[in-house]
């Protein structure tokens, strides 16, 4: 069988897929980017064997869930839900009070300082979504209801790569919004 790639290169690797999407969507329409990002988030969740993946935005002292892929049962969260930022695990990751990866929450040394969660969290991964200017948009998080001892450093790298894709999409959307011409009309509406 003829291989068209080097040994050790897996064209199905999540980092490769993220890189391809960043290139492929650079000049694409917003709809294609939205679909590509959503597909990548589901792929990330599935590959890491997580139960939930979400992108949240930090706005006005709250964490607002902008994208959520989670099971209906048990009810976890929905797009548009929010919570006070200071009561979230994600804020603690961004400000350094929590690590980006907690393979087993029940065995985590600092579990007594964790804000209460409305559902069981076994494994937790979170990384900031940093926009082009270095501004924190929010976080990309994955979690499982039961601990996954198989979580590795590579999983965090994958999470960070997908967070870059999400940030690029947000940056592109914000740039397009700013570039929209403002039209003035003297005709009353």
Compute the average pLDDT of residues 40-65. 94
- Buried b or exposed e, range 128-159, using 16+ CB within 10 angstroms: bbbbeeeeebbbbbbbbbebbeebeeebbebb
What six digits make up the tokens of 72? 């209906």
CA 106 to mean position of chain CA atoms: 23
E-only strand ranges, 79-179: 82-84, 101-102, 123-130, 136-144
What six digits make up the tokens of 130? 């940093």
Nearest to 18 by CA among 174, 182, 176, 168: 168
Query: Over 90: is that where the pLDDT of 24 sits?
Result: no
In 3-state terms, what secondary structure has residue 70?
Answer: coil
Residue-averaged pLDDT of the chain: 82
Tell me the C-alpha distance between 81 and 40, whole Å: 22
Residue-level pLDDT at 167: 92
Residue-level pLDDT at 115: 93
Query: Over 80: is that where the pLDDT of 186 sits?
Result: no
Residue-level pLDDT at 172: 83
pTM: 0.78
Domain boundaries in the chain? 14-173
DSSP 8-class letter at 120: -
Tell me the C-alpha distance between 82 and 62, whole Å: 6
Q: In percent, how much of the chain has pLDDT > 90?
A: 52
Residue-level pLDDT at 2: 44
Nearest to 83 by CA among 103, 68, 99, 98: 68
Residue-level pLDDT at 38: 85
Q: For the structural domain made of 14-173, what CATH number should be given? A: 3.30.450.40
Compute the average pLDDT of residues 11-36. 55
Binning pLDDT at 50, 70 and 90, where does residue 129 land?
A: very high
User: Does the CA dihedral 43-134-151-13 come out positive or negative?
Assistant: positive
Cis peptide before 74 (omega within 30 of 0): yes
Query: Over 80: is that where the pLDDT of 35 sits?
Result: no
Residue-level pLDDT at 102: 96
């Amino acid at each position: 069988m003829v291989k068209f790639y080097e040994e050790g290169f897996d064209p199905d690797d999540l980092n490769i897929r993220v890189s391809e999407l960043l290139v492929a969507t650079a000049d694409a329409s917003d709809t294609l980017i939205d679909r590509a990002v959503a597909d990548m988030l589901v792929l990330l969740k599935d590959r890491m064997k997580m139960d939930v993946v979400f992108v949240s935005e930090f706005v006005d002292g709250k964490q607002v869930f902008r994208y959520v892929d989670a099971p209906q049962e048990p009810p976890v969260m929905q797009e548009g839900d929010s919570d006070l930022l200071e009561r979230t695990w994600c804020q603690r990751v961004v400000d350094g009070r929590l690590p980006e990866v907690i393979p087993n929450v029940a065995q985590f040394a600092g579990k007594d300082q964790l804000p209460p969660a409305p559902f069981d969290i076994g494994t937790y991964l979170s990384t900031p979504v940093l926009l082009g200017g270095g501004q924190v948009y929010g976080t990309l998080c994955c979690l499982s209801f039961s601990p996954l001892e198989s979580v590795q450093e590579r999983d965090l790298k994958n999470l960070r790569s997908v967070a870059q894709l999400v940030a690029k999409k947000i940056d592109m959307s914000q740039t397009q919004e700013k570039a929209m011409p403002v039209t003035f009309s003297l005709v009353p509406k």
